[in-house]
Amino acid sequence: MKITRISVFQKDLPLSDPYWLSGGRLRFDVLDATLVKVETDAGITGWGEGTPWGHTYVPAHGPGIRAGIETMASAVLGLDPRKLELVERALDLSLPGHLYAKQPIDMACWDILGQSCGLPIADLLGGKRENGTVAASSVSSGAPDYMMGIIENYRKLGYSAHSAKVGGSDTDEDIKRIRHIESHRADNEIVLYDVNRAWTRREAAIVMNAVADLGVTFEQPGETLDDIERIRQVTTSPISVDESLVTLQDAARIARDGIADVFGIKLNRVGGLTKARRIRDIAQAHGIQMFIMATGGSVLADTEAAHLAQSIPQEFIRACWSCQDMLDIDIAPGSGPRCVNGVITIDDTPGLGVTPDEHILGKPVAVYTH
């Protein structure tokens, strides 16, 4: 089997409500999605999606994905998409780094491999758990009552896990946010407090020590792994790392040095499933739990993450994410798994199990052929 054609589509995905990070420092209204259709000489077509969370969140942006694919396309045309690590090597040789541009191609190859052997991607990753994965909401930063209102809306949809965005420059306000949400948290709910790198080491120590009695988990409480390693030494709360978990070497360092208790594995950030499954294995080998998610996007991006999440034993998976629930648009109506009562469940459809509606995507912005 050979890759014969790669078509690239751009689609704006408007958010239903404006979204704030870092205590209101960063605002997001629309996501720039890149959809990739990979065709083969065997008549099997795979789909991928790369959707960064805007261009101010991590070093990734929509135009960068499309430029990266333009640079890498000739290196993968003609390859067998089922030989995932040969495709990975070709991508890495043709463009070192730029992991976020590689993830949608890698995803489409996994989709093709699954279809070619009649198995869902979760089974290719080792075997699909029977039950689905709890989805965590993503709660925009704001005043304590505003954030609690968002959580209550998600509760009505059946959500029992939430990622609440904190990390303002006013430490007192962050302490109020956390205490307010915790005082209204139901017994069956888990809330992760996500700082998104916004605190200095001093601010992290102040807030985390002020709420240490609550035993809540903080995600990415500092900019770098060096910062988080230091924050770890002067605080006691559990820590999750996501934005600083990029390479296998990062994963090995975090595990070996005990920098975090939870890995937040973002598929677009780490370069796709081929690389993410190795990070998953390091986590499991070191007793580290995982959140699995896209960096954003449609049902396609959510589904890729849900496959990886459902390949992870129950005791190691905390939650995945259903970003599609935050969008004003559905690019694959009637196709793919949806979040039902706060849980995403992969079925036995071979491959990814979701196909976008090309009428909604419009014409491709680029086509590369062998």
Least Cβ distance, residue 273 to Mg ion (angstroms): 19
Collapsed DSSP state (helix, strand, coil) of residue 89: helix
Q: Are strands 26-40 and 3-21 parallel, antiparallel or unpaired?
A: antiparallel
Buried b (16+ CB within 10 A) or exposed e, 273-301: bbbbbebbebbbeeebbbbbbbbbbbbbb
Least Cβ distance, residue 119 to Mg ion (angstroms): 31
Whichever of 219 and 302 has its CB closer to Mg ion, that residue is 219
Least Cβ distance, residue 318 to Mg ion (angstroms): 12
Judged by CB under 5 A, which stretch of 36-44, 66-74, 111-119, 187-195 contacts Mg ion? 187-195
Whichever of 47 and 263 has its CB closer to Mg ion, that residue is 263
Dihedral sign from CA coordinates of 157, 161, 165, 166: positive
Secondary structure E strands in 54-204: 133-139, 161-165, 190-194
> What's the CA gap between 194 and 209, in Å, rounded?
16
Whichever of 110 and 218 has its CB closer to Mg ion, that residue is 218
- Contact assessment for residue 224 and residue 243, using Cβ atoms and an 8 Å cutoff: no
Q: Which of 37, 102, 266, 275 is catalytic?
A: 266
Whichever of 88 and 219 has its CB closer to Mg ion, that residue is 219
Residues 212-251 binding Mg ion (CB under 5 A) are: 219, 242
Which residue from 106, 194, 227, 250 is in contact with Mg ion, where contact means CB under 5 A? 194
88 belongs to the binding site for Mg ion (CB under 5 A) = no
What's the chain's Rg over C-alpha atoms? 20
Question: Is 266 among the residues known to form the active site?
Answer: yes
Judged by CB under 5 A, which stretch of 57-65, 104-112, 137-145, 192-200 contacts Mg ion? 192-200
192 belongs to the binding site for Mg ion (CB under 5 A) = no
Judged by CB under 5 A, which stretch of 1-9, 186-194, 276-284, 295-303 contacts Mg ion? 186-194
Whichever of 194 and 250 has its CB closer to Mg ion, that residue is 194
Collapsed DSSP state (helix, strand, coil) of residue 193: strand
Helices 144-156 and 171-184: crossing angle in degrees, nearest 10, is: 30
Least Cβ distance, residue 296 to Mg ion (angstroms): 11
> Which residues are CB-contacts of 14 (< 8 A; sequence separation ≥ 6)?
29, 30, 327, 328, 329
> What's the CA gap between 13 and 16, in Å, rounded?
9
Q: Which of 156, 165, 176, 275 is catalytic?
A: 165
x/- track of binding to Mg ion for residues 145-184 (CB under 5 A): ----------------------------------------
Whichever of 174 and 242 has its CB closer to Mg ion, that residue is 242
- Contact assessment for residue 131 and residue 60, using Cβ atoms and an 8 Å cutoff: no
Least Cβ distance, residue 196 to Mg ion (angstroms): 6
Least Cβ distance, residue 203 to Mg ion (angstroms): 17
Q: What amino acid occupies position 364?
A: P
Whichever of 120 and 222 has its CB closer to Mg ion, that residue is 222
Q: What amino acid occupies position 182?
A: E
- Contact assessment for residue 296 and residue 276, using Cβ atoms and an 8 Å cutoff: no
Collapsed DSSP state (helix, strand, coil) of residue 41: coil
Number of residues that bind Mg ion (CB under 5 A): 3
Collapsed DSSP state (helix, strand, coil) of residue 353: coil
39 belongs to the binding site for Mg ion (CB under 5 A) = no
Tell me the β-bridge partners of 33. Answer: 11
Least Cβ distance, residue 100 to Mg ion (angstroms): 16
* Contact positions vs Mg ion (CB under 5 A): 194, 219, 242
Residues serving a catalytic function are 165, 266
